[in-house]
Structure 1
Amino acid sequence: MPLPVITQAQTVTTPRLTTRVLTPGDPAGVPVLFVHGNLSAATWWEETMLRLPPGFRAIAPDLRGYGEADPAALIDATRGLRDFSDDLAALMDEMDISAAHMVGHSLGGGILWQMLADHPDRVLSMVQVAPSSPYGFGACKADGTPCFPDNAGSGAGAVNPEFAKLLAEGATGDETPFHPRAILNTYVWKPPFVPERMEDILASALAQQTGPQAYPGDAAPSENWPTVAPGKFGAINGMAPIYQTDPLAFTRAPNTPPILWIRGADDPICSDASLFDLGTLGQAGAVPGWPGDEVFPPQPMIAQTEAALAAYEANGAKVDRVVLSDCGHSPYLEQPGPFDAALHAHLAG
């Protein structure tokens, strides 16, 4: 892992997990908890945290399975994303934080849907940055129903094996489209943008823990297209729709903290035609044997999130929506000025 720009870094041990936590800002300030996404770590949030207004304290942990988190702490995918939300609640207990504003990116956004459902009293407000759908990621229909009963086409089996191999090897080049650097520069932000601290960003991505019980996790054989279904370990399996037992639980939370949903208009990952969803790839002819729209349509991730937030608003909540033009999957890295303006206004409100 690269040395952090933020000097306030510590190792925190809870009854659930030992991990690295970055904690810049006034220790007496209002806490803002930053939750990173897949292929990522707390490092990605450093500049955003340092730009917070006075009066706030930022907290950013390396999630279970990522960065400098204890590699012995596995992710039980059959619990969906609850291992992560329970880890965050335990971290808050250990740091004596009763409640916090929360900012989640991609997978981190999926974790925050679960956090609001399971620990609503810990959430002052939420900022969802290009979040995964509340229904999970991949191989499901508009109402969240898996395309097949075993959710074939989602989870670890949907991860490109060449990319997984290169990630496990710590490959730093970009000789093929499957190298981690190439994946970041093609999909995680909109080309030709490249972060100023690209080498640190890449190093923290390569610190992701790999293997059949980590990333991409295990897969189960299936008689359904594309012949693999989610296994039981790792974050990617944890995002499988089959393991999201009550995706809209957060919309019925007893308290309704305000939510800011901010995303890039050109996001190729969390979209209604995600290039990481086999429904989209099958429809485009990129994966042979696709069974068709009736059986396996592209997952409408934006439409699902919008419908869920509309239900949350019907429960009395306030939701703000910001879409940044000419921006991809990582607005806080790609367009820090507009992102900060929206974030800081949300926190001030």
Structure 2
Amino acid sequence: MLDGITAARVTTPRLTAQVLSVEGRDQGDPVVFVHGNVSSSLFWQRQMLDLPSGYRPLAVDLRGFGGSDPLPVDATRGLRDHVDDVLSLNLGPAHYVGWSMGGGVVLQLLRDHPELVRTLTLVNPVSPYGFGGTTDVEGTLISPDGAGAGAGGANPDFVQRLADGDRGAEPMSPRTVMRTFYVKPPRTIEDEDEFVESMLTTRTGEDNYPGDTVPSEVWPGAAPGPRGVLNSMAPNHFRIDDLHAVSPKPPILWLRGADDQIVSDTSMFDLAHLGQLGAIPGWPGAETHPPQPMIAQTRAVLDRYAKAGGTYEEIVFPDTGHSPHIERPAEFATALHKGLTRG
């Protein structure tokens, strides 16, 4: 860990979670950083240290990641297992910052507990309509069973390399996936080894990453099961289409890289887009299986939120991939600090 960062295991009624904090910063408004899939709180250290005085930076490892308990994920609850774990830390009203899957976690937290959110910062967040398996800005399902989303979309070679603790740079190794998709190539990643170690804390299996699958009569022949991480983001399990109804409505800041290949309207992890490219055989065509418009979906949900009396600001970092807090830390910190002051 970086100088000034400390780790503690905190036991709550739900789990024992590893939580990072900054030495000497145990007072002030809590700012809770929530990491994304196949990562951990270690990805947030620089931003924790960069927070100005008056804030209490905290970053929590979600279940099955980092130093937190490898508890099973009930995918039928969407991302609520993670929400309830974070809230079990009993921090009271706080600022929440969520990256990728963590963006979905904090969106769900806002949807269910708006009184506990002072500001919300979304960093390249998963769509409010989940990951994969939808056709339009309204999040219409391709199939009621969620076909085209969930654990069936995980690359088995990548999953095996995670389980094996692969620290090399072969195709589909965690290091290569990070270099190719977490950031925009050919960007050099500072502290790359540390981030690889963070990725390797991901617990694999049907209860964790990626989860289980069930057969489907709809292309590509598999649907998300009831267990595991990727299934918790499947659109038949995770869906936030009424965010505009919450009260109160804290300000939302949406930060994203312009060249993200993971959360994108042409995502390289969306089975429909890969089918369109010919990478997955049997694609039925754009009429029934178009690529998921992830960015457009998020914007539509946030536009409704603003129309109903909330506020949001979208900031796009040029020449940046999925991780602007890693790729452009100084610019990211400036934007984040500005967003925090609105709450």
Q: State the TM-score, normalized to the length of structure 1.
A: 0.95
Given candidates 234, 242, 245, the residue that maps to 1:249 is: 242
What SS is found at the alignment partner of 1:171? coil
Structure 2 gaps, min length 5: none
Given candidates 329, 336, 343, the residue that maps to 1:336 is: 329
Cα distance 1:4–1:237, how it changes in 2: closer, same or farther (>3 A)? farther
Alpha-carbon distance between aligned partners in 2 of 1:138 and 1:268, rounded to the nearest angstrom = 14
Structure 1 gaps, min length 5: none
State the match for 1:199 in structure 2: 193
State the match for 2:282 in structure 1: 289
Instruction: Indicate the percent of aligned positions where both proteins have the same amino acid.
Output: 49
- Across the two proteins, how many residue pairs are aligned to each other? 340
Alpha-carbon distance between aligned partners in 1 of 2:222 and 2:153, rounded to the nearest angstrom = 8
- 1:158-307 maps to which residues of 2 (within 5 A)? 158-176=153-171, 178-244=172-238, 246-307=239-300
Q: Is residue 4–residue 43 contact of structure 1 (8 Å, CA) maintained in 2? A: no
Alpha-carbon distance between aligned partners in 2 of 1:12 and 1:267, rounded to the nearest angstrom = 34
Deviation (angstroms), 1:293: 0.8
Q: CA offsets, 1:273-302, max 9 Å, x none?
A: 111001110111111000111111100000
Q: Is residue 156–residue 216 contact of structure 1 (8 Å, CA) maintained in 2? A: yes
Alpha-carbon distance between aligned partners in 1 of 2:122 and 2:300, rounded to the nearest angstrom = 15
> Which amino acid is the alignment partner of residue 9 of structure 1?
A
Does residue 78 of structure 2 align to residue 83 of structure 1? no
Alpha-carbon distance between aligned partners in 1 of 2:5 and 2:334, rounded to the nearest angstrom = 25
What SS is found at the alignment partner of 1:311? helix
Cα distance 1:43–1:5, how it changes in 2: closer, same or farther (>3 A)? farther
Q: CA offsets, 1:96-151, max 9 Å, x none?
A: x2110110000000111100011111100011000000000001111212211211
> Which amino acid is the alignment partner of residue 190 of structure 2?
E
- 1:32-111 maps to which residues of 2 (within 5 A)? 32-71=31-70, 73-91=71-89, 93=90, 97-111=91-105
**Please, what is the CA RMSD of the aligned residues?**
1.1
Q: Is residue 34–residue 60 contact of structure 1 (8 Å, CA) maintained in 2? A: yes
What SS is found at the alignment partner of 1:242? coil
> Which amino acid is the alignment partner of residue 66 of structure 1?
F
What SS is found at the alignment partner of 1:241? coil
Deviation (angstroms), 1:52: 0.4
State the match for 1:23 in structure 2: 21
What SS is found at the alignment partner of 2:236? helix
Does residue 7 of structure 2 align to residue 14 of structure 1? no
Does residue 112 of structure 2 align to residue 114 of structure 1? no
Q: Is residue 75–residue 234 contact of structure 1 (8 Å, CA) maintained in 2? A: yes
Alpha-carbon distance between aligned partners in 2 of 1:250 and 1:43, rounded to the nearest angstrom = 29
> Which amino acid is the alignment partner of residue 159 of structure 1?
A
Out of 30-39 and 247-256, give the one that drifted further.
247-256
Alpha-carbon distance between aligned partners in 1 of 2:74 and 2:25, rounded to the nearest angstrom = 35
> Which amino acid is the alignment partner of residue 82 of structure 1?
R
Deviation (angstroms), 1:89: 1.2
Q: Is residue 9–residue 68 contact of structure 2 (8 Å, CA) maintained in 1? A: no
Q: CA offsets, 1:14-35, max 9 Å, x none?
A: 1111111011152121110000
